[in-house]
Amino acid sequence: MSRRYVVQVGEEVLRKKCDVVKSFGGELDSLLNDMKETVRAESGAGLAAPQIGVGLRAVVIDVEEGYYELVNPVITAQKGEQRGAEGCLSVKGKQGTVRRPYKVKVEYQDRKGKKHKLTAEGFFARAVCHELDHLDGVLYIDKADEVYDLPPEGK
């Protein structure tokens, strides 16, 4: 496993529609291992493959409910609305206020290709929606009501 450089806004890979993962094991394992190490090192709630320069439909989510690896994820249902603060490891030093569904249902595959379903709500749902947007080249700053600068780190 190794920690990877997180691509910053302005780089083209963040704006591309990612490809469906068709081959499981080997390279996908390495990718997901690196994503886990990177999201933990950066203290993020989630990370999408394009954020480390890989245009594949894979994200990791690291929230109170647990650590999830979602390959080829699709939102199949959504309910309600929440409005709250959001940041992104690819948009350093900023936060924005974004509207998201309160609850989402997702179908995805794990790193072995096995199919699963999950239901997420609250912050977990927000993290899922944010990371899935990355797979279609969408950043939260495209959707935010407002984007503002955070105080310098350590303050």
Q: Which residues are catalytic?
A: 131
Give 32 or 88: the residue with its C-beta nearer to Ni ion: 88
Give 71 or 88: the residue with its C-beta nearer to Ni ion: 88
HSE at residue 79, side-chain half, CA atoms within 13 A, is 8
Give 60 or 88: the residue with its C-beta nearer to Ni ion: 88
Residues with Cβ within 8 Å of 152's Cβ and at least 6 positions away in sequence, in order, are 93
Part in contact with Ni ion (CB under 5 A); list of ranges 14-22, 33-41, 82-90, 98-106:
82-90
Type of residue numbered 152: P
Pattern 88-127, binding to Ni ion, x per CB under 5 A?
x---------------------------------------
* Order of all β-strands in the sheet with 91-100: 82-88, 91-100, 146-149
CB of 48 to Ni ion, least distance (A): 7
| Residue 28 binds Ni ion, judged by CB under 5 A | no
CB of 73 to Ni ion, least distance (A): 14
Part in contact with Ni ion (CB under 5 A); list of ranges 6-14, 66-74, 83-91, 96-104:
83-91
Give 21 or 50: the residue with its C-beta nearer to Ni ion: 50
CB of 115 to Ni ion, least distance (A): 25
Residues near Ni ion (CB under 5 A) are: 88
